[in-house]
Structure 1
Amino acid sequence: MERHFDIVIIGNSAAGMQALRTIRRHSRSVSVAMVDRENCPAYSRVLTPYYVGGKTLRGNLFIVGSDFYDHYGIATLLGHAAVELDAERHRLLLADGTAVGFGQLLIAAGAEARGLEVTAEGVCTLRHLADADRLERLLKGARSVTAVGAGLVSIPLLSHAGPEVERHLVIGSDRVFSRVVDPEASAILEERFLADGLVLHKRDDIVNLSGTDRLELSLATGKRIVTDMLLVGKGVVPNTDLALRAGLEVREGIVTDERCRTSHPQIFAAGDVAEGKDFVTGEPTIQGNWLTAVEQGEIAALNMLGFDCAYEGSLKNNTTEVFGVDVAVVGYCRDDAPRTATARDPFTGRFRKVFLDGRDRVIGATMIGETNDAGLYYQLVRTRALFPGPTFLRGTGTQAAALARLA
């Protein structure tokens, strides 16, 4: 027998959870179901490298308890992947054969980690809780850990592996965090990573993998690495197959308008699976960060409830701690920005670089060192604020005063 709900949400992470909260903030009568392939309460993917590295307990990953869904009156279909979508009949089919009808649908199915063609016992990705559990077991007792791909998964995990572990990082580009920070910030971070004992293999890649008890990696440059485990951190691929087979418009992600609506009027998308407008450039993009997913989940929910709410566009917004240093990136942080302003304290290591448009408005910022002002820069970009001046870069007191003048 087919079950029917006013709203069905696919995806139990940032976008889906924010949509649930928003729906219940405005209505207790709308019937809502949550579908997700993982059979557990919502958890933070951002914290999984900390759990794997022993910096936090597994229980601290969970955003809500198992009683959250009952409290909010949500029907849960957890542990059941959505395998087929009939958009015109408003019908979703799950892997166990369950059919679910919906009035409106939010696809917040996220993305999957890119893997390697070669698989072996010690080769891992980190995207789901089961991945984190497996990595946590493998890391215990490991003498050597290798990661390929210098992004927001590989480097944090290597950082948390500990100084007693031999750590290798293999990247195809000529610098670390190449998709996250500009070359100047990348050089500062690389210096710190090397000082902490990271062995860096730039402009290189793994061409062969063998071994049983330990992995033997052959690199394109002819180097050889013997390691206990290999983490593949080569980015993610949005989970668009369901939407594509249903006839929704898909490019890199599911195409959405300013109301997070897809090409079908009753189907919305949010988070890492959704392709929408970048706030600064206006170009279609997938930001792939927690805050964007939360914002899009809220906009989608409001529009599903009948409110007419437009999303101004997403912003890059990443904060992490690697090798003992905090790093935050907000907005547009490329060196082709019309102008930049930089400040660096050689004693504290605190670095700030602000990116400006042709009218001297703040469009982005990179922060290394203490990053409590990341939210401040986010607001400066969102409000299209004029750059307050060089003194703004040199202390949180002047930054707070500048923001107060802008408010």
Structure 2
Amino acid sequence: MNQHYDILIIGNSAAGLQALRTIRRHGGNVSVALVDRENCPAYSRVLTPYYVGGKTHRENLFIVGHDFYRRFAIATLLGHAAVGLDPDRHQVLLADGTTVEYGKLLLATGAEARGVEITAHGVSTLRHLEDADRLERLLKGARSVTAVGAGLVSIPFLSQAGSDVERHLVIGSDRVFSRVVDPEASAILEERFLATGLVIHKRDDIAELNGTDRLELTLARGERFATDLLLVGKGVVPNTALARETGLAVKEGIVIDDFCRTSHPDIFAAGDVADGRDFVTGEATIQGNWMTAVEQGEIAALNMLGLPCACDGSLKNNTTEVFGVDVAVVGYCGDGAHRTLSAHDRFTGRFRKVFLDERDRVMGATMVGETNDAGVFCQLVRTRAIFPGERVLRGANTYAARLLELAS
């Protein structure tokens, strides 16, 4: 006999969790089920490098426990992958052959690490808890570790690997964090990374891999060295297979409107799989950050409950700490800005760069060093505030005040 639920959620991370909380806050006794391929409560992927590096315990990764789902009366189908979707019949097929019927469906399936063409012991990605468990074992006793890719997986992993370990970073671009921060901030970060002993191989890639006990790497530019562990962190790909196979509109991710509704009226999408409108540019994009996933999860839940609520666009908002340096990026930080203002104090290491449009409204900001003012800049972008102004003066720290001087 088929199982039926008023609302079915596929995905057990930021968007799915927020949708559950919102449904129970506003939805009374509607029946809800959650499906996820991993057989564990929701956990933080951002913290996995800290666990791998021995800086926190495994149990600290979990955001909620099994009691969370029981308390919210959620039927959990954990450890079950969704392999088929029939929008007309409102049915989802699981890998074990179970069919689940739904009234409304939320696809919060996230993204998957880009495929690893290299298959060998000591080579891994870092996307799921099982990846973290494997890397944690591999890192023990390692004398040298290498990561490929210059983004928010490879660099945090190397940062937590330990200063007593030889660390190599292989990147195809000419700068670190090339998809995260602007070139000016990237140069500052690279200088800090090199000072910790990190070896950076720019405009390069893995050309050949040999060895059994240790990996013998040959780079495209000819350099050779041995390493105990190779992490491949070349970005992620949205998990859009279910949507594509059933004819939902998909570009890079699943296309959603401002209500987080897909091209089918009873199917919604949120988080790293959803292609929604960017607040600053108005263009469709996948932000890939926790805050956006939470916002979209809530909006999707409200609309599934019949409580109309529109999103005014998502915002790039990434904060991390690597090699002892705090980094934050808010809003649009690209070459299309009308003008930029920046300030860098080499004594403190703090750097601020603000991106402005033709009306001097704040489009975005990059912060290196103390990032407590990230919320201030986020609010400036959201309110389309002109920079400088009274609001900045009231909320700014020393560095934002310095930017005011540059702007005046």
Same fold per TM (> 0.5)?
Answer: yes
The CA RMSD over aligned residues, in Å, is: 1.7
Q: CA deviation at 1:28?
A: 2.6
In 1, Cα distance between equivalents of 2:29 and 2:393: 49
User: Is contact 2:373-2:396 (8 Å) kept?
Assistant: no
What secondary structure is seen at the aligned counterpart in 2 of 1:292?
helix
Please name the residue that 1:324 is paired with. Answer: 324
In 1, Cα distance between equivalents of 2:387 and 2:164: 44
- Judged with a 3 Å threshold, the aligned counterparts in structure 2 of structure 1 residues 394 and 90 are, in CA distance, closer, same or farther, namely closer
Report the AA paired with residue 38 of structure 2: E
Please name the residue that 2:83 is paired with. Answer: 83
Q: CA deviation at 1:225?
A: 2.1
Please name the residue that 2:256 is paired with. Answer: 256
The 5-angstrom pairing of residues 221-240 of structure 1 reads: 221-240=221-240
Please name the residue that 1:302 is paired with. Answer: 302
In 2, Cα distance between equivalents of 1:34 and 1:323: 37
Report the AA paired with residue 312 of structure 1: D
What secondary structure is seen at the aligned counterpart in 1 of 2:66?
coil
Deviation digits for residues 160-185 of structure 1, max 9, x if unmatched?
11111000000000000000000000
1:374 pairs with 2:374:
yes
Report the AA paired with residue 242 of structure 2: L
Q: CA deviation at 1:59?
A: 0.9
Q: CA deviation at 1:388?
A: 2.1
In 1, Cα distance between equivalents of 2:329 and 2:383: 17
What secondary structure is seen at the aligned counterpart in 2 of 1:45?
coil
Q: CA deviation at 1:314?
A: 1.0
User: Is contact 2:258-2:313 (8 Å) kept?
Assistant: yes
1:271 pairs with 2:279:
no
1:7 pairs with 2:7:
yes
Please name the residue that 2:397 is paired with. Answer: 396
Report the AA paired with residue 160 of structure 1: Q
The 5-angstrom pairing of residues 87-98 of structure 1 reads: 87-98=87-98
In 2, Cα distance between equivalents of 1:364 and 1:398: 15
Which runs of 5 or more structure 2 residues have no equivalent in the other structure? 404-408
In 1, Cα distance between equivalents of 2:347 and 2:16: 43
What secondary structure is seen at the aligned counterpart in 2 of 1:116?
coil
In 2, Cα distance between equivalents of 1:78 and 1:199: 41
1:42 pairs with 2:42:
yes
Report the AA paired with residue 359 of structure 1: R
Deviation digits for residues 336-391 of structure 1, max 9, x if unmatched?
31011111122111111111111111110000001111111111111111112698
In 2, Cα distance between equivalents of 1:311 and 1:123: 40
In 1, Cα distance between equivalents of 2:398 and 2:331: 22
TM-score (norm. length: structure 2): 0.96
Deviation digits for residues 9-46 of structure 1, max 9, x if unmatched?
00000000000000001123110000000011111111
User: Is contact 1:103-1:266 (8 Å) kept?
Assistant: yes
In 2, Cα distance between equivalents of 1:213 and 1:154: 22
In 2, Cα distance between equivalents of 1:147 and 1:356: 35
What secondary structure is seen at the aligned counterpart in 2 of 1:372?
coil
User: Is contact 1:392-1:398 (8 Å) kept?
Assistant: no
Q: CA deviation at 1:399?
A: 6.0
Please name the residue that 2:354 is paired with. Answer: 354
What secondary structure is seen at the aligned counterpart in 2 of 1:67?
helix
Please name the residue that 1:163 is paired with. Answer: 163
Please name the residue that 2:290 is paired with. Answer: 290
Identity %: 78
What secondary structure is seen at the aligned counterpart in 2 of 1:184?
helix
Deviation digits for residues 37-85 of structure 1, max 9, x if unmatched?
0011111111111111111111111111110001001000000000000
Which runs of 5 or more structure 1 residues have no equivalent in the other structure? 403-407
Per mean C-alpha deviation after superposition, the further-off stretch among 272-281 and 339-348 is 339-348
What secondary structure is seen at the aligned counterpart in 1 of 2:326?
strand
In 2, Cα distance between equivalents of 1:350 and 1:34: 43
What secondary structure is seen at the aligned counterpart in 2 of 1:327?
strand
User: Is contact 1:393-1:399 (8 Å) kept?
Assistant: no
Number of residue equivalences? 401
Deviation digits for residues 193-244 of structure 1, max 9, x if unmatched?
0000000000111111111101111111001121001000100010000111
Please name the residue that 1:205 is paired with. Answer: 205
TM-score (norm. length: structure 1): 0.96
- Judged with a 3 Å threshold, the aligned counterparts in structure 2 of structure 1 residues 298 and 394 are, in CA distance, closer, same or farther, namely closer
Please name the residue that 1:405 is paired with. Answer: none
In 1, Cα distance between equivalents of 2:106 and 2:247: 15
What secondary structure is seen at the aligned counterpart in 2 of 1:260?
coil
Report the AA paired with residue 90 of structure 1: H
What secondary structure is seen at the aligned counterpart in 2 of 1:342?
strand
In 2, Cα distance between equivalents of 1:85 and 1:394: 49
In 2, Cα distance between equivalents of 1:108 and 1:395: 36
In 2, Cα distance between equivalents of 1:298 and 1:270: 9
Report the AA paired with residue 303 of structure 1: N
What secondary structure is seen at the aligned counterpart in 2 of 1:80?
coil
User: Is contact 1:341-1:354 (8 Å) kept?
Assistant: yes
In 2, Cα distance between equivalents of 1:163 and 1:207: 27
